[in-house]
Amino acid sequence: MADRKTPGLAGAVAGIALAAGGAAFASFLAQRHKDGDDNAPLYTRKRPGTDNPIVGRTVTIRKPRAELYEYWKDFGNLARFMENLQTIRKDGDAHIWTIKAPAGQTVEVRTEVVQDVANETIAWRSLEGSDIETNGEVTFTDAPGDRGTRVSLVMFYNPPAGELGRAIAKLFQREPEVQARHDLKRFKMLMETGEIATSAHTEDATRRAKQQETGR
Amino acid sequence: MRALTWHGTHDVRVDTVDDPEIINPRDAILKITSTAICGSDLHLYDGVIPGVVPGDVLGHEFMGEVVETGAESTLKKGQRVVVPFTISCGGCFHCQIKQYSACENSNPVEKQDMSATLYGHPMSALFGYSHLTGGYSGGQAEYVRVPFSDVGPIVIPDHLEDEKVLFLSDILPTGWMGAENAEIQPDDTVAVWGCGPVGLFAIQSAIVMGASKVIAIDHYPHRLELAKKLGAEVIDFRKTDVRDALMEMSGGIGCDAVIDAVGMESHGFAIDNMIDIAKQKIGIGADRASALKQAILAVRPGGRVSIPGVYGGMTDKFPLGALMEKGLQVRSGQTHVQRYTKDLLEKIEDGTLDTTFLISHRLPLEDAARGYKCFREKQDSWTKVILKPGMEQGQTA
């Protein structure tokens, strides 16, 4: 396990692309569609009134709401499409996330589910004593007609090393917004096609590309 | 294996590269029997499409024999298939509404950002056509990995030889969709800019769709001759004032529909085209669009503009006023190949469409670099080049 002061850790903190700052996140969730003049999600505002970046993304997946919810609810599945996530295992009511960090390191985060409404939403936050703090919420709503389900992933992000943490994260190309977008699109691919698209031409190239992406 | 690889502008080589492998369950591996050089490959050759990396294997028109299948592939070893150049998953929203070239799942996630920035949305992956469209290795090679092999490839009956069906991969459906997008009515006069392979297939398609008159515009005598043989009237733009001629030939009304089968590297002596050429040369890359600009002025008010020709970026001095004031309809796009393969295969089988008339050269894969050079430099006589991996060198049919 990495020391929480190392740059490697900061990179990983950003890498998981999940949020910190429980209270602020909760208030964000409560206000996101009320506070403002327009109907756009808060995270698309040009000037969010906070230093804490709010990360959010929506994809439409041509699968029933229940199927997507069930897949996500089994947290062990998340490592299949979140590329910096090595494993998630259950520990009582909590989940322990093992996250890949640069230079072959890993960090661990204990999370608890704070909200779980069947076929609608799952929210989680990190517990005290974790290497990093995270907060996230995924919601599932019906898309019009037979378009399937709209899946929104919203995260509140408060990098532990402040701006420096984000700068380091950028260096590792793990800007949380990009990571969140990529992870959600991989989820979509997996659900709609049963696989995650790659243009790698050989197994070796696949391995090399993965190593490059995870900075190891 | 041996494969045609891109190394820089006007520098392609046949190199030895790793054999492809099955990566995902829906993959298949083909042993290529025939592959072609496309006019749009020349945009890569000329270095005007961004996102090509040295070592990339080119080629998006190919067919072959299935030699390996992933667990979820529906193909069987030994089948002969033609593969659409658009890679499409079949399961996303866009595939479901048959807009296959907008497939949301075939372009790898990490490759989507660049085209999303450039175009607002990522598009489907294409074989052998830059990393904007996925960075997949192409089919100008001995073998190719085909993702989503249960969706795209069409199985070919044994009695149809390669040359009759190879163009189902791109240029035949592209020409067909170019004509379909022009919404041709029986009394229409239709003008087609460019008598390259796509233009020629668009002309043939427009005639099959019942256009009363099809007018082909180019400057290469041999290509105009091919258009004439298909039943088109022709205009040599170097000798004739195109807009004047089109007005006269359409009875003073203007063409009901126009088809730009030229794309971003159009010839012509218009002053804006010269400026665009200069910009492309110094790398600030405005698309040369003189054919399209002329087409927009030539089409009648309320007419239809179809653009199968390839564009990649921005263009300058676009006649937007003509587009608006004349109330034109514009349709374009990379071809939704999977939408057309089955019907077009039937039209090849029953003789409605001839696909072999434009093939001018057949070369071994090893001669592919020469094929590119000649296809670019001798456009009059080199109308279409087919590459055969099995063919012995020095043999040219």
Q: Using the beta-carbon criterion (under 8 Å), do A62 and B148 form an inter-chain contact? A: no
Task: Express each pLDDT in B13-48 by its tens digit.
Answer: 999 999 999 999 999 999 999 999 998 899 899 988
Between B324 and A172, the higher pLDDT residue: B324
Task: Express each pLDDT in B147-196 by its tens digit.
Answer: 999 999 999 999 999 999 999 999 999 999 999 999 999 999 999 999 99
Q: Is A160 inside any structural domain?
A: yes
Between A25 and A73, the higher pLDDT residue: A73
How many A/B residue pairs have CB atoms within 8 Å? 80
Cβ-based neighbours of A34, under 8 Å, separated by 6 or more: none
- CA nearest A179 in B: which residue? B110
Q: Is A1 inside any structural domain?
A: no
Between B118 and A167, the higher pLDDT residue: B118
Task: Express each pLDDT in B205-250 by its tens digit.
Answer: 999 999 999 999 999 999 999 999 999 999 999 999 999 999 999 9
Is B271 a residue whose pLDDT tops 70?
no
pTM, to two decimals: 0.88
Q: Is A211 inside any structural domain?
A: no
Q: Is A49 inside any structural domain?
A: yes
Is A216 a residue whose pLDDT tops 50?
no
Is B59 a residue whose pLDDT tops 70?
yes
The whole-angstrom distance between B112's CA and the closest CA on chain A is 9
Q: Is A25 inside any structural domain?
A: yes
What proportion of chain A, given as a percentage, has pLDDT over 90? 39
Q: Is A212 inside any structural domain?
A: no
The whole-angstrom distance between A30's CA and the closest CA on chain B is 30
Task: Express each pLDDT in B291-330 by its tens digit.
Answer: 999 999 999 999 999 999 988 888 888 999 999 999 999 9
pLDDT of residue B268: 52
Residue A85 belongs to a domain with what CATH number? 3.30.530.20
As for how many domains chain A has, the answer is: 1
Please give the backbone phi and psi of residue A204, each rounded to the nearest 5 degrees, phi first.
-60, -45
> Residue range A127-148: average pLDDT?
88
pLDDT of residue A213: 54
Is A36 a residue whose pLDDT tops 60?
no
**Homologous superfamily, domain B2-170+335-388:** Medium-chain alcohol dehydrogenases, catalytic domain (3.90.180.10)
pLDDT of residue A4: 36
Q: Is A53 inside any structural domain?
A: yes
Contact with chain A for residue B392, Cβ under 8 A: no
Between B36 and A49, the higher pLDDT residue: B36
Dihedral, B113, B115, B120, B122 alpha carbons, nearest 10: -80
- CA nearest B132 in A: which residue? A199
> Residue range B333-346: average pLDDT?
97
* Domain membership of residue A160 as a residue range: 7-198
Q: Which of residues 108-147 of B touch A (CB under 8 A)?
A: 108-113, 125, 131, 134-137, 145, 147
CATH 3.40.50.720 range(s) for chain B read: 175-332
ipTM of the complex: 0.90
CATH 3.90.180.10 range(s) for chain B read: 2-170+335-388
**Homologous superfamily, domain B175-332:** NAD(P)-binding Rossmann-like Domain (3.40.50.720)
pLDDT of residue A172: 45
Residues of A with CB under 8 A from a CB of B: 60, 62, 147-148, 178, 182, 185-186, 188-189, 192-206, 213
pLDDT of residue A41: 81
CA separation for the pair B382, B395 (Å, rounded):
17
Q: Is A158 inside any structural domain?
A: yes
The whole-angstrom distance between B92's CA and the closest CA on chain A is 6
Closest residue to B105, CB basis, from A188, A201, A204: A188
Closest residue to B108, CB basis, from A199, A202, A204: A199
Closest residue to B136, CB basis, from A178, A193, A199: A199
Around A78, how many Cα atoms within 13 Å sit in the side-chain half-sphere? 25
- pLDDT tier at A3, thresholds 50, 70, 90: very low
Per CB-CB distance under 8 Å, the chain B contacts of A148 are 93
> Residue range B392-397: average pLDDT?
62
pLDDT of residue A52: 55
